[in-house]
Chains A and B, each alone.
Chain A
Amino acid sequence: MYTQSAPEVHDVIVIGSGAAGGMTAWNLAVNHGIKVLMLDAGTRFRREEFWTHVKPWQWRERIEKGLAPPRIQLDPKEQPYLSKEPNRFDLIRVWGRGGKTNIWGRVALRYSDLDFEGPARDGWEIPWPIRYKDIAPYYDKVEQEIGVCGGDDDTDSLPGSRYHQPPPGFRCGERFLKRSAEKLGIKIVNQRKAVNTQPKNGHNACHYCGACGRGCDVSAFFNSTDYLLDPAEKTGKLKIVDNAVVAHILLGDNGLAKGVRYFDRYTGAERIVYGKRIVLGASCVDSTRILLNSKIGNSSGVIGNYLCEQVRFHVTGFVPELMGTKAMNDDGVGGEHIYLPRYNARDGRKRDYLRGFGSQFWSTGSHASVGNWAKQLDGFGVDLKTQIKRRYPAFVAMHPYGEVLPYKHNRVSVTGTPKDRYGIPISRIEYSIGENERKMLNEMYDMAESIFKGMNAEIIPFERGAIDPFGSAIHEHGTCRMGDDPKRSALNKFNQMHDVRNVFVVDGSSFTTASEKNPTLTILALSWRASDYLAEQMRTGDL
């Protein structure tokens, strides 16, 4: 006689393996001893295959031989999305173990109450349901676990930390930028980066090769695979299913989620797994797509709306005192070593826009590319060669980031969109900025120009008002936001769905606003906090 066994019902199913999913799975498995099934849309990236230490000319040789570095970013041809010109939104996704943490910018800024209290103060859209005091202990825990270097030079908009590792020194150009900004009363601080400058928790220290964007071959910066998933797997509590492209969260008759339908990325085989609790951390747009296609949790109608990230642009130039000096090894921890925190709430002057901006400074110094600036110099021959060499060590760059308010019309939707290779509707992204952002951009440009003029920099010509294509910051937020009012938000303050209480959403989609800051440290802290809450609910039998 054939007896069919009942399918396994997992304690927790986590969708996505990046910062959000990785932190959730690690906390549940390692700290709470809870069994977790993780569904990841790709497979592990192998560190030994990263081209971290391939010089530019070696890169070319390899390419000519038909070799290629590991492809980390998802090819949109494999999983398309819709976005119309002139408001094109560039969506960068990584389907693979660790997600975008394999190649992220590592900027690890704490939100402050300027951020959490912003909407309540100015009345634009719903307030955050949490304040800094709610998340501060989790920032502490995250920083102790993953390692973040930075200074003790906190400001009202950038809370400090007792747990920062020593920061790398400033590059020459960064010292000029800092000095010029401070002459204007604008404070520049050590950048906070999730890079270990000292060995920590078994992870190597950075060796300052500056090639973080190709993946770190010694895992010296935080990535979900090495820092969270591997330790979680070692407990025996975490099982990861590779190449599982999630399509739907399935609802049971009791209104709670009962499982997840996914497709094998390569065979297309359809599978269903069952679980008592589902945690969604597939990154903002993909999590939103899954929720909308699942038609769950959206009695408020907010899911998919209020997409927000940041506007940014670039101003570059040359410091006169550094022209003609010897090029230095300016790699450092990759990216800038300084940060300009938001300051516009400090001077008491009323602005004609809401919220604020900060600035990053990557590429300052002598790096492996002369970039497009050399092509803008006149002439050719010995004179051109001399002019390029003279300017090369003097290069400085500013990249201001400004908050984009949450607008209902900025959205991810799936209605009427074509279907992907698995027969599931793809995402459509509609996005634009408004008058508030344009007014803020004016002050951002004024600031950048003032700092450059303050050090008598030779400014490379730029078009004032121009901004990067939408999506360039790779900081999508807001499409499944948290809030106290279930009529205007999808999640409560613990990232739990108001409508479907055994579903949690822990990635950037859960943010109520975008702020001007990079979100990953906050995603990690929120995920830890949400999974602590989930574990406690399980312990008390409430979930």
Chain B
Amino acid sequence: MSSRRDLLQIGAAVAAASVSAQDHSHDAKDTAPSPKTARFFKPAEMSLLAVIVEHILPRTATPGAADANVHYYIDWQCHTSAQRGAQIRKDLSWIARQKFAKASHAEQVRLLTGWSKASGEPARIFQSFKDLTIDGYYGTREGLQMELGWNANTFLREFKGCTHKEHA
């Protein structure tokens, strides 16, 4: 059933020019990925951030959060909001003081697990990075398209909806 819809999408994409009079040629130019440059965090902070986000949403059969440059997404969020930037830098500094960066992978998992189940400040800090990682990752091609299978915001000639007999 889904393959039928996939085919529809492919066919509709070919037909898109007739559906839309718009010129979307600017998309390619405007959407070429920017070179990734940290604008807020220092290199050591970026490295630590990359480790944290990859722990939260790691590489599996699909890319992980670090593969998807989620640490740069967080950097951008901090770059564009001084208040948020100051808080996240403070939180990152707290994590650094727990000797997180130099810990083994297993030890890092143990630390994160502890914070995720704690209360108070450790829990708040953990949830803050988790929230940012989720926001960041599932807005990327890696997270939304490759991991979740989202393949929309495209051109379809028709929308049949659910054709699963078992859902009727």
Contact = CB atoms under 8 A, between A and B. Distances in A.
Interface of A: 47-48, 53-62, 64-65, 67, 168-172, 174-176, 204-211, 217-218, 321, 326-333, 337, 366-370, 374-375, 378-382, 384-385, 388-389, 392-393
A387 to B, nearest CB: 11
25 contacts: A55-B141, A56-B139, A56-B140, A57-B144, A58-B27, A64-B76, A67-B30, A169-B162, A170-B161, A171-B161, A174-B161, A207-B156, A218-B19, A326-B149, A328-B162, A329-B5, A329-B156, A331-B154, A374-B134, A380-B56, A380-B57, A380-B130, A381-B56, A381-B58, A382-B60
A326 B1 CA distance: 10
A247 B42 CA distance: 53
A205 B22 contact: no
A385 B58 contact: yes
A510 to B, nearest CB: 35
A62 B56 contact: no
- Interface of B: prevailing SS: loop
Interface in B144-164: 144, 147-164
Contacts of A175: 162, 167-168
Interface stretch (B31-39, B43-51, B81-89, B94-102): B31-39
Contacts of A218: 19-22
Contacts of B73: 60
A380 B109 CA distance: 9
B20 A204 contact: yes
Contact of B149 (A58, A64, A366): A366
Closest 10 CB pairs of A and B: A169-B161, A58-B31, A327-B149, A172-B162, A208-B156, A168-B159, A208-B159, A329-B152, A56-B139, A331-B152
A525 B94 CA distance: 61
B159 A332 contact: yes
A170 B109 CA distance: 43
Nearest to A166: B158
Given A57-B141, A385-B58, A328 B5 contact: yes
Contact of A366 (B30, B139, B147, B150): B150
Contact of B116 (A174, A368, A380): A380
B92 interface: no
A218 B21 CA distance: 7
Given A172-B162, A328-B5, A392-B149, 5 more contacts: A47-B22, A207-B157, A210-B152, A375-B131, A381-B109
B40 to A, nearest CB: 13
A210 B153 contact: yes
B150 A368 contact: yes
B27 A381 contact: no
B2 interface: yes
B14 to A, nearest CB: 12
B56 A205 contact: no
A370 B135 CA distance: 8
A22 B6 CA distance: 40
Contacts of B21: 204, 218
Contacts of A61: 30-34
Contact of A209 (B2, B112, B131, B155): B155
B30 A65 contact: yes
A53 B2 CA distance: 23
Contacts of B163: 169
